[in-house]
């Protein structure tokens, strides 16, 4: 009887264990179902948020594109109006100068007659003639400056903020905190050499590649007596100091270079005298790239004089 009682107690304990196991299994199944429901809810919520963010992004991009188009249209209209105004002023001044020249030119005919004594009005006309010439030169200068400013502002609509890629910098180049400026330094940094780093040629590349559309940026070179500014493919050689790693000395790069006071342009190791080089080298170099049409232009960013033009199939 004691054995039966003991066995009965064991059976009761096993029954409780089985019930507990069944309860745990049920809880596990409930948790699994709840987890699946929550996963679907989170997924749906994430997809909804992503959809909303994409819609917002598209709306912002469309708004910026519309504003860019409106700004370009306004600038084009301003430039057109100014050109028309300049032509009218130039035409009026030419007419006035023509009339003045006719007035001041002695008439043909009786050369034996005594010349007419110039009166005060004619003297004033002669003085005004010089003033008109000065005015014409001043207006021409103002017109050139305004054209350059409008052209630069139009190009700046496609401006690309250039940040220098620290991984490509030669060890003697130090960058500013924001990565927008560089300087030479004799102090070598205590870091390991990077595979993308120039090890022999003192050079650095930008961190934002141009892959489509039109882009424009400017480089301030006023603090340098010798410099090279250019555009290169990412496949430009980084190691060694042969022409494969130098700007403009290979098929993978184009550049403007100032050396010993001479401004030249280079591509594929060919030296070309700049088209618009003036008496003094530029203080800022403007670089304009039309990726889709394969066009590259270098400007004097202060006067917007075209320094050099290249055409190539960019990819």
Which one is predicted more confidently, 280 or 299?
A: 299
Confidence of residue 159 (pLDDT cuts 50, 70, 90): confident
The CB density around residue 230, as the number of other CB atoms within 10 Å, is: 23
Mean pLDDT across the stretch 288-295? 92
Q: What is the mean pLDDT of the chain?
A: 82
Digit-coded pLDDT (tens) for 161-219 = 889 998 999 988 988 888 889 888 877 765 667 888 999 999 999 988 888 889 999 99
Which one is predicted more confidently, 174 or 100?
A: 174
Digit-coded pLDDT (tens) for 115-125 = 555 555 555 55
Q: Is the dihedral of CA 76, 77, 80, 86 positive or negative?
A: negative
Burial (CB < 10 A; 0-12, 13-18, 19+), residue 101, is exposed
Q: Look at residue 59 and tell me whether its pLDDT is greater than 50.
A: yes
Predicted confidence at residue 111, as pLDDT, reads 47
Predicted confidence at residue 6, as pLDDT, reads 77
Predicted confidence at residue 189, as pLDDT, reads 67
Backbone region of residue 231 per phi and psi (left: phi > 0; alpha: psi in -120 to 50; beta: other values) = beta
Q: Look at residue 24 and tell me whether its pLDDT is greater than 80.
A: yes
Predicted confidence at residue 42, as pLDDT, reads 92
Q: Look at residue 108 and tell me whether its pLDDT is greater than 50.
A: no
Predicted confidence at residue 252, as pLDDT, reads 92
Mean pLDDT across the stretch 75-84? 78
Confidence of residue 110 (pLDDT cuts 50, 70, 90): very low
Mean pLDDT across the stretch 66-70? 83
Mean pLDDT across the stretch 227-253? 93
Share of the chain above pLDDT 90, in %: 30
Q: Look at residue 23 and tell me whether its pLDDT is greater than 70.
A: yes
Mean pLDDT across the stretch 137-162? 81
> 311 forms bridges with which residues in the sheet?
295
């Amino acid at each position: 009887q004691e054995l039966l009682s003991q066995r009965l107690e064991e059976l009761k304990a096993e029954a409780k264990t089985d019930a507990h196991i069944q309860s745990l299994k049920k809880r596990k199944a409930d948790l699994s179902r709840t987890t699946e429901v929550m996963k679907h809810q989170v997924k749906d919520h994430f997809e909804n948020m992503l959809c909303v963010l994409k819609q917002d992004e598209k709306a912002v991009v469309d708004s910026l594109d519309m504003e860019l188009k409106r700004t370009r249209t306004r600038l084009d209209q301003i430039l057109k109006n100014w050109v028309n105004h300049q032509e009218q002023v130039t035409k009026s001044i030419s007419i006035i100068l023509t009339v003045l020249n006719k007035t001041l030119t002695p008439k043909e005919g009786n050369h034996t007659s005594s010349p007419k004594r110039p009166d005060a009005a004619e003297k004033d006309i002669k003085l005004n003639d010089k003033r008109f010439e000065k005015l014409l030169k001043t207006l021409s200068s103002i017109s050139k400056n305004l054209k350059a400013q409008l052209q630069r502002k139009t190009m700046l609509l496609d401006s690309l903020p250039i940040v220098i890629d620290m991984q490509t910098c030669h060890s003697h180049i130090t960058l500013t905190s924001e990565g927008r400026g560089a300087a030479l330094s004799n102090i070598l940094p205590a870091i390991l050499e990077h595979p993308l780093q120039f090890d022999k040629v003192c050079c650095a590349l930008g961190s934002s590649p141009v892959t489509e559309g039109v882009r424009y940026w400017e480089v301030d070179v006023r603090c340098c007596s010798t410099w090279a500014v250019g555009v290169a493919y990412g496949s430009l050689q980084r190691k060694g100091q042969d022409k494969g790693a130098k700007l403009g000395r290979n098929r993978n790069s184009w550049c403007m270079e100032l050396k010993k006071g001479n401004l030249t342009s280079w591509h594929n190791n060919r030296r070309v005298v700049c088209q618009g080089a003036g008496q003094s080298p530029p203080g800022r170099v403007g670089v304009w790239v039309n990726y889709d049409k394969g066009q590259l232009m270098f400007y004097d960013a202060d006067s917007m004089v075209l320094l050099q033009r290249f055409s190539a199939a960019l990819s």
